[in-house]
Structures are given as C-alpha cells and as structure tokens.
A = this chain, B = another copy of it.
Amino acid sequence: MALLYGSSYQIPGTSPGALIAPADQPAGEAVLTLTRFDSSKVEEAVHVTPEDCRAWLAQAAEAAARVPEAEAPASKHANRAIFWLHISGTPDADLARRLQDSLGLHPLALEDVLNGGQRPKVELYDEHLFVVMTHVDYSGVDLRLYQTSLFLKGNLVISIDAGDDGLFLPVRERLTRGGRLRQLGPDYLLYALIDLIVDHKFPLLERMGSEIEDLETDLLEDPPADANRRLLRMKRHLLLLRRQQWPEREVLNLLLRGDKEMGIGKKTLPYLRDSYDHTVQLMDLLETYREVVTELQNALMLATSNRLNDIIRVLAVISVIFMPLTFIVGVYGMNFDPAAGWLNMPELGWAYGYPAVMIVMLGLTVGMLWFFRKRGWL
C-alpha cells in the first residue's frame, strides 16, 4: 500500500510541529556526516551528532570574526568555510528534536522530514530555506520513492536522504577534486545536490523507455499473456513519477524566481536554469511515455479483438462446412424401409447412390470454400 498511498501523516488533531515519528516507520539508523570545505581544503567527519555540528559552526564563525574586516574583503568570501551535513536515513523523533535545538531548524519543516512522502516543495522560513525533493529508485519491477530534504541556512547545507544508496557520492568526489564546487558558495552546493536528484531520473527513464519499446515490439507481433499486467504496472509507475515531477519542476521554478530572498547567488542561477530545463525535459518524457503506453493499451485491445476474430473465423469455417455434410450423411443413415414403398429412400438401393452422395458433398465443400474466400475468411 505504501507505494500508492505514499505518504505518512500524523494522527489528525495532533498539535502541529509536535515532532512525533509515524507509527509504522522503521527504526531510523540515521548516520550524520559533516563536511567542511573552503577553497583550500576539505575535512570530513562521520557519525557526528547535531551538537558536534553546532560546535564546529560556532568555531568557524569565531574564526571568521577574527579576520580583520579590512583585509581582503573580496577573498574573504572565497575563503569562508562551508558546511555540509548529510544525514543518511530518516531521523527519528529524538534526532529531529536535537536538530531543532542545535541547528535551529523549524519544527514544521522537521515534521515534514519525519513524515516522509511529502510532495516536492520549497518553503522559505525565517530561519532557513527548506526544499523537499524525491529520490527515485527503479528496479525494473518496483518503483521506490524516497523523500530527500534539503536545508540552506547561512553557510550550512543539510541534506537528508531517506533512501540513501550513495546518491550524493559524485558530489563528494567532486568536492575532493576541487573546482567550481569549492569556489562558489553554499547555494552552489545546494544546486549540485538538486541537480543530482534531477539527473538521477534520466537513466531510470531511459530504462523505462526501452521496456516500453520492447513491449511494443512484442505486442505487435504476438501479444504476450502478461501484456495487460505489464501495461498496468507501467501506467502506475508513470503516474507516480509524474505526481512527483510536476511539483519538482515547480520547485526549480520557484528557486529561479525567488532567488534573492532565498539566498541563491547570481552565479548559480544559470546552473539552476539548466536543472530547470532538465525537469521540463523529464516531464516531457513522462507525458510522452504515458501517451505511448495508452496507445499500446488501445493497440492491445485491438489485437485481442483481432485474435478473437481469427479464432472465431476458423470455428465458423469448420462449422459451416461440416454441419451440412453431417446432415446429409445423417439423412442416409435413416432406417426407412425401402421395401415399404417406392418413395422410401430408393437411393439406398441405387447402384451409384454412394458415389453420387460423395460427389454432392465434395461440390458443397468446394462451394463453401469459394464463399469463404470471397468473404475474405480464408
């Protein structure tokens, strides 16, 4: 059920922002990894606590304050340390409360993190920017949707990925290698994470696309027995993906338009626009797939009808040929007594009765076949 319903919810009437984990949630073994980088170096600490993060952040803020304001105002920004806290797995209520206390995250946002399966959305709280996106995993049979939550608060970026399977590893590698990701601010890191979630769907859709094409080929040649089931499953997957993709496109649109208040710099905008283009392209593909699958359903319906016609045509031909023949041989199986009167089946006693009947039946069969040929049944 989880797939179709797809979202947890708090018991109605609970006080909002109460940070209670939903009952059916597996025990969260969330792992926190804190990365600190600036243009010169990258440090990483695994299995940290929210309290550690607060300490690191306070320390960095202190260090920044020590740098004399006059000195290198331009380069200062470049050297500002940026923090990335990545939480793999869904936090439990306790961790959520500690995140709230240590890092000042808004309780309504944390409530959305606890109750996974939210629609993708952007929310700008006084304290920070909050972005929900969906991380999709497709095994060829099952489609799994995990909520990915992103926070942007000053120079701290927090990412929480419910279904973490190394999705953000490429960003981690690019961080180590240096480059633009290290030069630009936390907004660019946010973009890099969003970009990954978006682009992650391309290989998935490519796989779906090739499945659709395979089914199409099969279906036109000889509809497989499970075609109905496969088409239904595809439709549902596309439905679920589209349900995520529409608001995801809107997320990028909002980030693009509300750039300033959201703390997204001018340099990051063209990259976000690029991601936006990708979400549009994904929507486009999803719509196309949907329409193709609908067409395949129509085609399957027609193919099933055609197959039925085929079978019934054969049945009809056989019946129409053999019923009269069987009737004729039945006639000459009657036991009327030829001796009782000259009208009683004199054919039986005629020397050429049998061959004559055979010839008549042959003629009848040939006539029938000609009739079917003309009707296009053969």
Contacts and interface: CB of A to CB of B under 8 A. Distances in A.
A284 B326 CA distance: 61
Interface string A1-22: 1001111011011111000000
A311 B313 CA distance: 7
Given A174-B13, A180-B15, A329-B330, A303 B340 contact: no
Name the residue among A199, A228, A274 with the largest chain B CB count within 10 angstroms: A228
Nearest to A121: B277
Contacts of A320: 314-315, 318
Chain A facing B: main interface SS: helix
Interface string A345-378: 1011111111101000000000000000000110
Interface in A163-186: 169-171, 173-174, 179-181
A334 interface: yes
Contacts of A297: 298, 302
A7 B173 CA distance: 26
A14 B323 CA distance: 70
A56 interface: no
Given A5-B285, A312-B308, A323-B319, A332 B334 contact: yes
A212 interface: yes
A139 interface: no
A316 interface: yes
A307 interface: yes
A272 to B, nearest CB: 10
Nearest to A171: B13
A241 to B, nearest CB: 11
Given A324-B322, A326-B326, A309 B311 contact: yes
Interface string A202-219: 110110011011001000
A327 B344 CA distance: 19
A281 interface: yes
Contacts of A312: 308, 311-312, 315-316
Nearest to A281: B119
A155 interface: no
Nearest to A304: B305
Given A6-B285, A304-B309, A337-B349, 5 more contacts: A10-B199, A323-B326, A325-B327, A329-B331, A345-B354
Query: Lowest 8 A-B CB distances belong to which pairs?
Result: A13-B170, A341-B351, A329-B330, A12-B199, A332-B334, A5-B209, A322-B323, A315-B316
23 contacts: A1-B206, A4-B288, A9-B203, A13-B196, A15-B179, A16-B274, A121-B277, A125-B270, A228-B299, A228-B302, A239-B292, A239-B295, A243-B284, A302-B304, A304-B309, A312-B316, A315-B319, A318-B324, A325-B330, A326-B326, A337-B349, A340-B350, A344-B353
